[in-house]
């Protein structure tokens, strides 16, 4: 029972982590709780801040749940199920 989390960009640089497997507990967990757990790891504190302050909008990175922006789901209240994948990446704006 696991949720696969892929980390890209500066968060990978800061944490040294590329992929993390999170326990799905009862088969599903709220995205907010997953971010809180991830945010306890060194280099991923920003995820905790996003979860506690509820500011998924305006964050410097995009959170995808199975390839869909969490903002198009239920934001931090999105239920992530066992076997689903979360991807966190910072879109680059420069040209």
Sign of the C-alpha dihedral, residues 21, 26, 31, 33? negative
43 scored as a contact of another protein (CB under 8 A) = no
User: Going by C-beta distance under 8 Å and a sequence separation of 6 or more, which residues neighbour residue 29?
Assistant: 3, 22, 79, 80
Residues 71-90 that bind another protein (CB under 8 A): 71-72, 85, 87, 89-90
Hey, which residues does 29 pair with through a beta bridge? Answer: 80
Distance in Å, CB of 79 to another protein, minimum: 16
Report which secondary-structure segment, H or E, holds 88. Answer: strand 85-89
**Site membership for another protein, residue 53 (CB under 8 A):** no
Sort strands 28-30 and 19-23 into parallel, antiparallel or unpaired: unpaired
Complex with another protein: residue 7 or 38, whichever CB lies closer = 7
Instruction: Give the range of 3-11, 21-29, 32-40, 41-49 binding another protein by CB under 8 A.
Output: 3-11
Contacts with another protein, residue ranges (CB under 8 A): 6, 8-10, 12-13, 56-60, 62, 64, 66-69, 71-72, 85, 87, 89-95
């Amino acid at each position: 029972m696991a949720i696969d989390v892929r980390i890209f960009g500066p968060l990978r640089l800061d944490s040294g982590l590329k992929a993390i497997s999170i326990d799905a507990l009862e088969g599903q967990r709220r995205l907010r709780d997953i971010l809180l757990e991830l945010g306890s790891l060194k280099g991923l504190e920003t995820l905790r801040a996003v979860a506690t302050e509820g500011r998924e909008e305006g964050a410097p990175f995009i959170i995808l749940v199975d390839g869909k922006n969490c903002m198009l789901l239920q934001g931090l209240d999105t239920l992530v199920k066992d076997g689903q994948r979360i991807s966190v990446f910072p879109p680059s704006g420069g040209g």
